Structure formats: C-alpha cells, structure tokens
Chains A and B, each alone.
Chain A
C-alpha cells in the first residue's frame, strides 16, 4: 500500500537537502563497492525526483543528472524493493528504452531501493552493464545492504545538518535576546524578531504588523524583502484574506503551507497571491491576552516547515513577547517616574510657597532666605536623581549642581574620581554642601574676592572596606573660627555624608578645612 503521493514523496526527498550537492566520499565509496562486488562497469547512488534523477555518486557514467523519462529507475522501480533486469532487450518494460536500443546500449540493470524509515522510496543503489548478466545471492544481498547503508548515510547527514541548524538558531535567538536587552523600542524588537524569523525560515519577505482588533485590520510596518520581492505596505483587513485571524487571536501560530489548499485561505487564495503570498507564516504577539502584533513571513511558492522550524518560531515568539512586555513595563515605569518626580517638584514648590507666605512678616530675613535656599538645595538634588530615574547619580554632577549658585565666578574647583551615589547619600551630600557653601559665602573664603574653595574626593582602600573621603578646603579667605552657636546648619554639616557623622572640621588662619568620610558601600546604597 502506498502511503504517499508524488508531491509528498518529492517533499520527503527534498527535506534531505541532498539534491544538487557535490560528491561526497561516503557515497562514492558505496558506489565503488557496488561496482566491484557486482563486477559491473557502472554503479550509481541515485535519487529520484518527480522529473529527473540525481546521482549523488556514480562510477562509470560521467554525468550527475538525467531526465526521468528514459531512466531505468523511474516510477515503476520505486514500487519494488529490488529489481533485477538480466537483459533489458528481452524485458518488455525496457526493450523500447532508447538507452537500450541506441547509445550507450545498456542491457543489464539491478537496483535496490532507498527507503526512508516511513517507507517512502526516494532512490536506488543500482548497477548497470552493457551486456546481459546475472547476480548471485551474495551480490544481491550486498546491493541491498549498500542501499541500506546509503539510506543511513542520508539520515545521519540530515541529522547532523539539523543539529547544526538548531545550534545556529539557538545562537541567533540568544544573540537576539542580548540585543533585546538594549532595545526599548517595541517596533525595533518586533522588526528584529521578524527579520530573523524570515531569514531562518527561508522566507522571501518578512516583517511585522500592528493589529487593530476593533476593525480587524493590520497595519504593515516596513518589510524585509529578498531581492526582487515587492514589500506589502499599508493597512489590510484580515477577513479579506481568510479566517486565520481567529487562530492568531487566541495566540496560535499560523503556518499555511499553500494558501490554495488550506481551508482557512482556500477561498481567498487569489487575494493572497495578489500580494505575493502562496505560503504564509504568522506569529501572534499578545499583550494581556489581546492580539497586538503579528510577525509574518511570506513565500511566493508553497512552503513546508519542519517541526523544528515551528519550534524555532515558537521560541522566537516567546522571546519577542517577553521583550515587548519588558519594554512596555519600562516605558510605564519611566512615565510613572516622570509623573512622581514632577509631583514631588510641584510639592516642593508648594512647600516653598507656604513657607514664604507664612514667613512674610518675619523680620529676620536671613533665616527666611536660609530656609528658602535649603529647599532649593533639596530640589536640586532631586533634579539630578530624577535625571537618573532615581538610581545612582554621579557624585560630580551632584556636587556641581549644589555649588553652581555660589560659583558664578568659577572660584569653586570640583575634582574627584567617578563615584556613583545612592539616592540617600545624594540628598544628604547636597544639603551638607549647601550649608558649607552658604557659610563660605557669608564668613569664609568666598566672602573675600580672592578666596576659593577646593572640593575633592578620593577612595581610600586602607582597611577591608573602601572609604570615600571628601575634602572641602577654603583658601585665601579671612581667618575663621568655630561658630559660637550651633545652628541647624552646623548640625547638618556634622551629620556627614550618610547621616552618621565622620566629619572633621579645622578652622584656621588659612580658612576652613573639612574632611568627611563614609564607607563606600553605604554611600552607594540606595
């Protein structure tokens, strides 16, 4: 019983990827053994396609392909496991064959069938001679064994190729995942996935579309196209091209091998072919259970995907889905951050407004101004943190933002290695530096025209735990002495970099020298 038709037999043969490949010793040797054992001048490992036969290996023939009409190994032979034609001139099946009646005058043929484990015949190992002859049992058995060996070779060869392809695809997916980590643009993610899918699955056109469920339309994004293939552009109504939208909606991958045969597209095949689609591969990307994007691969001819192709596409779809979800989440996080920060800044502005309005009649304007400035210092630190989405902020940026209002004449010199500050340390450092700068302008080096301030920091690795040491050195100012009264400002300074002290202050003729230390790990903690 034949379990196959000619189309599926041809497909099986093509799946071995053996047609039109160069000679390989493994097959050449089988042909040589066949020739030696049978004592025939000609031996062939032969693969039979629908309209031609291809010789993977041959001895004594000199060609690698012949049309099927005149072939000995035609359709007929594929139905028998072994065929022996002692004298073709006497066999009614071959007596009229031009290869028998004319040049080269073949007379003898014996062939053993190449059959896949599923029982699909794809070719033969055969021997031929120019004179009639017979084979003994030993020769027949050898020929059968050689056919079996050839089949094993074909399968191994394919298994190896599959393995290499699978490995390659895994690598491609891994690379894509790496790339996805850097990409936050959803379109770029979908396009990257679609192009990879199209290339890996041998499509002629690939890309993605944005789905509008309400109108059941898809808006095609710019495509990747093989040479000479026109892109699909614009918006399309799914129902004008079949019913496969129903599968996409529930997250099912759609693989239509031939739009003329598949029942989902059979009645719409002309419309599909009109936009260059004979085979269609669609991967849905759902968002919260709703179809959002479709990755597509198009083929102008029928196409048959292997199970491995489908598995690959599924994997790709999962990665894409995850990357899109992550990008969306990051986008929302960003928006939320912006909104929160924005509200925080508005709240600070309102606190400032309330304070200023409340303190309007206070005659000690210095105190009011100090409050105002401290609120600003806090707002300033929030600015720097906000720009970093509340993660680590570069120390230099924080320091420069705080001293900027006091530094109109470039008399503050800021230097130090790159250190990232956690949000807490960034806020306390800002307030602390603000107090130091305010004092410097009022009483210290910045109160005299020649004075300056050196703000610098280093990381010291003395003990097990690295420490950040920040120096504030005032120069060329008036002589300073410790403040008589301990106000809020001095207390803020003494809290240090992380609110636990670690501050040394030296008041001298040269000016104030402050040194502040804290464990680096504490400073970088958020």
Chain B
C-alpha cells in the first residue's frame, strides 16, 4: 500500500508504443491514435528498422505492427523475434487480411483486421499497459 502511494506521487511516465507500418499515412494515423490515448509513440518503417530500435531502447512496452510489410523481415517474423528476444513486450498485430493469418500468432499477441477501430485498439493497449 505504501509503495503504491509513493509511486502515484511521482509523475507517471507514459508507456512507450513502437508503431511499425510501412505505409506513411497509416503510420501517421497510428501514431496519432497512440499519442491521443496518452502513450508515447516511436515509429519504425519496417521490421528491420523496428529491430534496430528495439536493440537500442529498453523502454518499449508494446509493439503495434502491420504484418504485410514488403521489405526486410515481415511482420509475422518480427512478432516472433520480439517474443523470442524481448519476451516482456506486448504485441498487437494488424493486417489487411480478414482473419489472423494461418500461421499461429505469438503467444500474448492480439490481432486486428484493417481498417481497425481505434477505440478497440486503444482499449487493448490500455489493458496491456496495465499488466505490470
């Protein structure tokens, strides 16, 4: 109880969300969505870029990634790599496919079909951020 009280006295650091999307417009919108929900957004244009960022930063809490990106590792392999190398990071996957892809999603990951409903994605991010 005392710990909680002390922690809540400090200004809360917003959880960091890494947005991985190769389409600039969609990336911009996703960043807006993440920021308007009170998170800090970090952008990556492809999976290789995302891996590089993840290797440099240790404060990323959630990765929100498209899985149909053309260049470099595709999103599914990115998600698998994250689950493997950075197990605590939460993963949200989006795609123009209707359903989650046939290949199994990494554990503790959630899928949204494009175009996604922002309120649903934000709700999921909040839920994930609350799991500490």
Contact = CB atoms under 8 A, between A and B. Distances in A.
Interface residues of B, number: 17
Given A353-B25, A357-B28, A386-B98, A342 B68 contact: yes
28 contacts: A338-B97, A341-B96, A341-B98, A342-B68, A342-B96, A343-B96, A344-B96, A345-B96, A345-B98, A345-B113, A345-B114, A345-B115, A346-B23, A346-B26, A346-B68, A346-B96, A346-B114, A349-B26, A349-B114, A349-B115, A349-B116, A350-B23, A352-B29, A353-B25, A353-B28, A356-B32, A375-B115, A387-B99
B117 A376 contact: yes
A349 B96 contact: yes
Nearest to B97: A342
Nearest to B114: A349
Interface in B52-70: 68
A379 B28 contact: no
B98 A353 contact: no
B107 to A, nearest CB: 25
A386 B98 CA distance: 8
A179 B48 CA distance: 47
B68 A352 contact: no
Interface of B is mostly: loop
Contacts of B117: 376, 405
Contacts of A354: 25
Interface of A is mostly: helix
A348 to B, nearest CB: 5
A455 to B, nearest CB: 21
Interface in B62-109: 68, 95-99
A383 interface: yes
Interface in A313-351: 338, 341-346, 348-350
Contacts of B68: 342, 346
Contacts of B97: 338, 342, 345
Nearest to A347: B96
Interface in A360-395: 375-376, 379, 383, 386-387
A344 B96 CA distance: 8
Contacts of A356: 29, 32
Interface in A377-421: 379, 383, 386-387, 405
Q: How large is the interface on A (under 10, 10 to 19, 20 to 34, 35 or more residues)?
A: 20 to 34
- Residue of B25, B98, B116 most packed against chain A (CB within 10 A): B98
B66 to A, nearest CB: 9
Contacts of B115: 345, 348-349, 352, 375-376, 379
A345 B98 CA distance: 9
Contacts of A405: 117
A357 B29 contact: yes
A338 B96 CA distance: 9
A386 B113 CA distance: 13
A119 to B, nearest CB: 67
Contacts of B113: 345, 379, 383
B88 to A, nearest CB: 29
- Residue of B23, B113, B115 most packed against chain A (CB within 10 A): B115
A27 B117 CA distance: 86
A432 B44 CA distance: 39
The 7 A-B residue pairs with the shortest CB-CB distance, nearest first, are: A345-B96, A349-B115, A353-B29, A342-B96, A349-B114, A346-B96, A353-B25
Nearest to A348: B115
B43 to A, nearest CB: 14
A387 B98 contact: yes
Nearest to A387: B98
- Residue of A356, A375, A376, A405 most packed against chain B (CB within 10 A): A356
Nearest to B66: A346
A346 B28 CA distance: 14
Interface string A40-81: 000000000000000000000000000000000000000000
A22 B98 CA distance: 67
Nearest to B99: A387
A343 B68 CA distance: 10
- Residue of A343, A353, A357, A405 most packed against chain B (CB within 10 A): A353
A92 B116 CA distance: 105
Contacts of B99: 387
B65 to A, nearest CB: 14
B73 to A, nearest CB: 19
- Residue of A375, A376, A379 most packed against chain B (CB within 10 A): A379
B33 to A, nearest CB: 9
A383 B96 contact: no
Given A342-B97, A344-B96, A387-B98, 12 more contacts: A341-B96, A342-B95, A345-B96, A345-B114, A346-B26, A348-B115, A349-B115, A350-B26, A356-B29, A357-B29, A357-B32, A386-B98
Nearest to A355: B29
Interface in A76-113: none
Contacts of A383: 98, 113
Contacts of A349: 26, 96, 114-116
B60 to A, nearest CB: 23
A350 B25 contact: yes
A221 B28 CA distance: 51
A471 B77 CA distance: 47
A387 B26 CA distance: 24
Contacts of B23: 346, 350
Contacts of B25: 350, 353-354, 357
Interface string A146-175: 000000000000000000000000000000
Contacts of A345: 96-98, 113-115
A353 B26 contact: yes
Nearest to A373: B117
Contacts of A346: 23, 26, 68, 96, 114
